[in-house]
Chain A
Amino acid sequence: EVHLLESGGGLVQPGGSLRLSCEASGFTSSTHARSWVRQAPGKGLEWVSRISASGDTTDYADSVRGRFTISRDNSKNTVHLQMNSLTVEDTAVYYCVIRMATPQGYDYWGQGTLVTVSS
């Protein structure tokens, strides 16, 4: 069974940094792109970032480009999201997502990890 487990969320001050991780199990994630989607409290879904299966290609939403870095360790089936220069607008639940068995859309989601940016 496919399972995505996020970790690393918490409370951080504005301007601070945080590193999220997402460990995949139940499949070999090295053959799949990995992505992050976030949801601010009471708000809608926002696509954040994507990394290709090999790790050669990364993409970012305009709102995080230059501050966030996505990376992966295929030996550990894990993807990371390094978040720097955090602002209150980055407060959200961060979901690790993957497109496994469908040609479009994210068919598997983690439970999410909450990042709170506040002084």
Chain B
Amino acid sequence: DIQMTQSPSSLSASVGDRVTITCRASQGISNYLAWYQQKPGKVPKLLIYGASTLQSGVPSRFSGSGSGTDFALTISSLQPEDVATYYCQKCDSVPYTFGPGTKVDIK
């Protein structure tokens, strides 16, 4: 099965900073990748699908990029409400494995 990794596992940044989280698949998955945001105590929320398509209602400061094995989620200007754990998920074929998550805090 294809394995998903994320880096870093956690980060702390200041409000207004540009933040980038990377996700790597052990084999190519084209653009079949989704990103989720899970705020503390809440249900995960779909942010991006197709590696770069923003889900309806998601702020434009979020963006996704990549294809094949290497992907990135970028927050252009970190806001206090962005404190959360972010997960990538492969969506090409089962099992639809999630990455281990990246916890984002405010410095």
Are A47 and B97 closer than 8 Å at their CB atoms? yes
Quick check: is B66 within 8 A (CB to CB) of the other chain? no
Q: Are B101 and A105 in contact (CB under 8 A)?
A: no
Q: Which residue of B lies closest to A4 (CB)?
A: B43
**Chain A residues positioned under 8 Å from B33 (CB to CB):** 104
Q: Is the interface of A mostly helix, strand, loop or mixed?
A: loop
A window 49-74: CB within 8 A of B? 50, 59, 61-62
Number of interface residues of A (CB under 8 A): 21
Q: Across the interface, which residues of A come within 8 angstroms of B68, CB to CB?
A: none
- For the complex formed, measure the closest distance between the CB of B54 and the CB atoms of chain A, giving whole angstroms: 11
Which of these, A102, A110, A111, contacts B55 with CB under 8 Å? A102
Q: Which residues of A contact B (CB under 8 A)?
A: 35, 37, 44-47, 50, 59, 61-62, 95, 102-107, 109-112
